[in-house]
Structure 1
Amino acid sequence: MHVSVISNLEGILMFSIKTALKLMQWASLMAVSLSLNPARAADAYPNRPIRFVVPYAAGGAVDVAARLIGKYIAEDLGQQVVVENKPGAGGIIAIKHTLSFPPDGYTFLVCAAGEIVINPVINKEVDYDPQKDLTPVSMVTSAPNVLVVRKDFPANSVAELIDYARQHPGELTFSSSGVGTIQHITGEVFNRLAKIELRHVPYNGAPQATMEVATGRVTMTYASPGSIRGFVDRGELKMLGMVLPERYAPLPQVPTIRETPGMESYNIESWFGMFAAAGTPPDVVKKINGEVQRAMQQPDIAKKLIDTAGVPMRTTPEQAREFVTKEIAKYKPILKEADIKLQ
């Protein structure tokens, strides 16, 4: 009886050992197969949640774009997409956070032009090189901004704003979503061309920067059309000019700032893009690029992006890299000429 039990136990043990060895051999062969076959490795991606890092507080245009696209990708790939808001320091915090993770295709940065083409030029504390440390995945939107003032401000055009500022030097203020952001630079270049002095008041995101104008604590700001629509409809903000070379189709009644005499050379445009850490596998970059592009082609997502963030941009990773390279070359002389100082 005891011999039979021991014999059975030995048989079970031998079977378990053989099964374990076979599983180990199978796993080893699969690992070799995947390493030799990148296509099959790409098919296995993603197998865990993906992270989107946003350099702004929740509720702003960049955050909205990241969440819209992230929701689509999560549903399409069957993996959760987590949006992490890391505002502050002109995007330095968010970019360092992004670069602290392995370049394995599970962490992406969704940001605006300021973090990529502006802050590295004007901020001596920036210790990253956007062209070496980051890989463009896809451009997301071309993001127009509109100059808005508080409801009781005694100006109804850009020309009247400039005249008032000249008559009241040092009294007016403009808010932005942070030092070194596109809104900050937009205001500083406006100051230089208009020969006026509006004091910069930075915040940790566009929602707060806009609210401070609506409540009357700040004179004006530059914000996306979607983010100020409710304020304008309620009569809490006035739109004076678009920060675009040509009038914005959804708001044809709003003139561009360049239409104001003396402001013809005003040339500041904003955009949002998605980036990954340098070294991220090219097949993963291509896969996520395809997901972003398909997301923006969905009618409901495209409409929400236009309403809140800007016009969707169609780019491959290569086209995104070329676009960013040109933007960096464009902004360097603008920033040097403006002689912008960080507070």
Structure 2
Amino acid sequence: MIGNISSGFETLRKLGGAVLLSAGLVGLASPGLAQTYPARNITFVVGYAAGGTGDVIARLVAQKLSESLGKSVVVENRAGASGGIAASGVARAEPDGHTILVGQSAEIAINPHLLKGLNYNPDKDLMPISLGAVVPLGLVVPGKTPYSTLAELVAGAKSSQKGLSYATAGAGTPSHFAGELLKLKTQSNLTHVPYKGAGPALNDILGGHVDMYFSGLPAAMPNVRSGNMKLLAVSSEKRSASAPDVPTVAEAINAPGFDITLWIGFFAPRGTPNEIVTRLNEEINKILVQPDIKERLLSEGADVTPMSVEQFSIFVKTESEKYAQVAKQTGLKAE
């Protein structure tokens, strides 16, 4: 059974006081380095095509971080290998805080348990900086589809000889887990169609080339509001505040325990000075709680929970352990 990735938030919050004190002491060790950083422009690397949830959050934070640090923060999309191309590239970058991975669940917590021959190790090659957001996945279908509920969609998949297709942001991503879990729970005929990120997948939903997609809500909601897509259900344990009338998958198909969400976080190459990591953590956390940013993310269904470096490190470790168990239980393998 897939656990709720937000279940550990209370524990992490309770750790907050001691952890933040520790982070502050680390920052005091060499104040000069943090004060002279950055020396040049910073690059945020996103492992998926433009238009996905991670890309949306990266660009929101990049704009604000440019203002606070006084240097440009450029977002670069390096799609492929379920975020692995971007992750391996950042892992080999100079550890000076000027190349940052805007990582997601797949390349950090899932790939190591599904893909053989990875040329990076998230635990050894990357340093957690800060959690950006946690978002439910929304099951979206083309606006002109005949299905208006998840029950109708499942019935259509079962009645069609060829079944239905479901898009994902790549093999082994949370959208892949969600699609396979839906297939298992409903015993439906669903065919996986992987893309290099949410943007291309959403484009093919809009074009009617694929039947459905578990998308991060921030990336999908504009098209849902415009009527170009229908939102049939959300993948989280609880309903989303941004779409309170939309049922959870667990509700819609009577599948207790159906709870998969997507998270986005910031990572530096291993060896980056702790002073710089702490500075970035503090600056990003300040941005996330700014009223305009927080309101934007919350309105799109994202859960904003700023964490210290140590808290986020614990979160990442817990997520990796969870997906290792899920992969073993489901037998899911990347294609």
TM > 0.5 between the two? Answer: yes
The answer on 1:40 being equivalent to 2:43 is: no
- Mapping 1:1-16, distance limit 5 Å: none
Aligned to 1:327: 319
- Cα shift at 1:309: 7.0
The answer on 1:198 being equivalent to 2:197 is: no
SS at match of 1:311: coil
Say whether the 8 Å CA contact 1:62–1:309 is kept in structure 2: no
Aligned residues: 308
The sequence identity of aligned pairs, in percent, is: 37
Select 2:295's aligned residue among 289, 292, 303: 303
**Aligned-partner Cα distance in 2 for 1:50–1:340:** 36
Amino acid at match of 1:283: E
**Aligned-partner Cα distance in 1 for 2:217–2:182:** 19
Aligned to 1:53: 45
Select 1:223's aligned residue among 195, 215, 239: 215
Amino acid at match of 1:185: F
- Cα shift at 1:328: 1.1
Structure 1 residues 340 and 256, CA, compared in 2 at 3 Å: closer, same or farther? same
Say whether the 8 Å CA contact 2:241–2:299 is kept in structure 1: no
SS at match of 1:260: helix
Amino acid at match of 2:227: G
- Cα shift at 1:308: 4.6
In structure 2, stretches of 5+ residues that fail to align are 1-28
Q: Deviations over 1:118-149 (max 9, x none)?
A: 11111113232211211110111011111011
- Cα shift at 1:98: 0.5
Aligned to 1:100: 92
- Cα shift at 1:284: 0.7
Q: Deviations over 1:165-188 (max 9, x none)?
A: 222254210111222222122212
Say whether the 8 Å CA contact 1:133–1:277 is kept in structure 2: yes
Select 1:277's aligned residue among 259, 263, 269: 269
Bigger relative contact order (CA 8 A; separation at least 6): 2
- Mapping 1:60-209, distance limit 5 Å: 60-168=52-160, 170-209=162-201
Aligned to 2:15: none
Q: Deviations over 1:257-293 (max 9, x none)?
A: 0113441121212111111111111111100000100
Amino acid at match of 2:277: V
Q: Deviations over 1:50-97 (max 9, x none)?
A: 111110112222112111111111111111112111001111110121
Instruction: Give 1 or 2 for the bigger CA radius of gyration.
Output: 1
SS at match of 1:254: coil
**Aligned-partner Cα distance in 1 for 2:297–2:225:** 19
Amino acid at match of 1:332: A
Q: Deviations over 1:281-310 (max 9, x none)?
A: 111110000010001111112222234572
**Aligned-partner Cα distance in 2 for 1:109–1:156:** 38
Say whether the 8 Å CA contact 1:192–1:338 is kept in structure 2: no
Structure 1 residues 209 and 296, CA, compared in 2 at 3 Å: closer, same or farther? same
**Aligned-partner Cα distance in 2 for 1:273–1:226:** 15
Say whether the 8 Å CA contact 1:142–1:311 is kept in structure 2: yes
Q: Deviations over 1:183-231 (max 9, x none)?
A: 1222122212222231111122212211211221100001133322332
**Aligned-partner Cα distance in 1 for 2:228–2:61:** 30
- Cα shift at 1:247: 0.8
Aligned to 1:214: 206
Amino acid at match of 1:93: I
Amino acid at match of 1:257: V
Say whether the 8 Å CA contact 2:137–2:216 is kept in structure 1: yes
Say whether the 8 Å CA contact 1:224–1:308 is kept in structure 2: no
**Aligned-partner Cα distance in 2 for 1:104–1:60:** 27
Aligned to 1:242: 234
* 4+ runs deviating over 3 angstroms: none
**Aligned-partner Cα distance in 2 for 1:247–1:41:** 44
**Aligned-partner Cα distance in 1 for 2:110–2:77:** 20
Aligned to 1:318: 310
Amino acid at match of 1:265: G
Select 2:334's aligned residue among 311, 318, 342: 342
Q: Deviations over 1:141-162 (max 9, x none)?
A: 0111110112343332222222
Alpha-carbon RMSD across the aligned residues, in angstroms, is 1.8
**Aligned-partner Cα distance in 2 for 1:318–1:179:** 30
Amino acid at match of 2:95: P
**Aligned-partner Cα distance in 1 for 2:77–2:144:** 33
- Mapping 1:22-37, distance limit 5 Å: none
Amino acid at match of 1:117: A
SS at match of 2:37: coil
